[in-house]
């Protein structure tokens, strides 16, 4: 399908690997020029070079922590005028409800709620002025169904979801859409880290740990970053202008709910 966004310019945060990279690749395939960000410069440059070689689009890189004010400022300065914004960052650590104090919540809210809000606050005015924009926030399946050990993530991402629900309706009339993508289990470094935890806790091999994790997913497998990226690119396309303030679950059916 022709997405109609060739020549547009996108910032994809936290995109040297994983879901962010999947989004960057799919946008590049649609002819979108990119600004990519991650903390580690080496993987970021390697990803940028691979995307330039494969898709022939312009790729600018900014090695910075997107959750910190100065890092964000450097990214925004390099980005300039944007048509598309994909927000993303690492997720908060797991634990038990009684582990967390105020500082832990502030850190999680900063990274997974206030960072995407700050990016939208900076970028939406230009999109509105130009009469066209697409924002996609990478959140989590935990917004629809809580993951008990991820209380910090459940809290911060649900806060962002509430903000998007209202804001998306304030900007939709200006040609700008904001939607959230909610990943379930995907085949990224994070999945391997979670498998390591299962392998250790249950004294099984990594292969067995993967089978155990996949057994609770009706699709019987993890999602791929290519599938995730394709959904992101569609939400950023000309065809998706009537999709406003939605939370799109990509979880292989794992969240057991009728709607």
- Residue 6 vs 216, nearer CB to ligand NAP: 216
The 8-class DSSP code of residue 14 comes to S
Residue 82: CB minimum distance to ligand NAP, A = 17
Pick 130 or 190: Cβ nearer ligand NAP:
190
DSSP strands (E only) in the chain:
9-12, 33-38, 59-63, 84-87, 133-138, 176-183, 247-250
Q: Which is closer to ligand NAP, CB of 176 or CB of 185?
A: 185
Strands 59-63 and 176-183: unpaired
Cβ of residue 147: shortest distance to ligand NAP, in angstroms?
8
Q: Which residues contact 2 (CB under 8 A, 6 or more apart)?
A: none
Q: What would the two tokens of residue 97 be?
A: 């409800």
- Cβ contact 213:198 at 8 Å: yes
Residue (14 or 82) nearer to ligand NAP, CB: 14
Helices then strands, counting H and E runs in the chain, come out as: 9, 7
- Residues of this chain that interact with ligand NAP (CB under 6 A) are 14-20, 37-40, 43, 65-67, 88-91, 138, 140-141, 183, 185-186, 188-191
Q: Least distance in Å: CB of 19 to ligand NAP? A: 4
What pairing do the DSSP bridges indicate for beta strands 33-38 and 9-12? parallel
Nearest distance in Å: CB 221, ligand NAP: 12
Of 65 and 83, nearer to ligand NAP (C-beta) is 65
For residues 57 and 31, the answer to whether their CB atoms sit within 8 Å is yes
- Least Cβ distance, residue 54 to ligand NAP (angstroms): 17
Q: How far is the CB of 141 from ligand NAP (least distance, A)?
A: 6
Cβ–Cβ < 8 Å for 209, 185? no
Which one, 91 or 133, has the nearer CB to ligand NAP? 91
- Rounded to whole angstroms, how far apart are CA atoms 153 and 193? 17
């Amino acid at each position: 399908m022709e997405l109609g966004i060739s020549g547009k310019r996108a910032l994809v945060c936290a995109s040297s690997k994983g879901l962010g990279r999947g989004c960057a690749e799919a946008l590049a395939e649609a002819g979108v020029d990119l600004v990519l960000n991650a903390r580690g410069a080496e993987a970021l440059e390697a990803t940028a070079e691979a995307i330039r070689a494969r898709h022939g689009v312009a790729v600018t890189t900014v090695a910075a922590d997107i959750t910190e004010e100065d890092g964000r400022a450097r990214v925004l300065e390099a980005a300039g005028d944007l048509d598309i914004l994909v927000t993303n960052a690492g997720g908060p650590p797991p634990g038990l409800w009684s582990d967390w104090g105020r500082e832990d919540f502030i850190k999680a809210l900063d990274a997974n709620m206030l960072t995407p809000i700050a990016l939208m606050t900076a970028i939406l005015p230009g999109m509105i002025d130009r009469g066209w924009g697409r924002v996609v926030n990478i959140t989590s399946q935990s917004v629809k169904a809580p993951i008990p050990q991820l209380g910090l993530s459940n809290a911060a991402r649900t806060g962002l979801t509430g903000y998007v629900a209202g804001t998306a309706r304030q900007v939709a009339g200006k040609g700008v859409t904001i939607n959230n993508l909610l990943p379930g289990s995907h085949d990224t470094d994070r999945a391997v880290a979670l498998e390591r935890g299962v392998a250790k806790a249950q004294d099984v091999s990594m292969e067995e740990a993967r089978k155990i994790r996949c057994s609770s997913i009706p699709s019987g497998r993890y999602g791929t970053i290519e599938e995730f990226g394709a959904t992101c690119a569609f939400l950023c396309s000309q065809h998706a202008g009537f999709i406003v303030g939605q939370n799109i679950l990509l979880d292989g059916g794992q969240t057991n709910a009728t709607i």
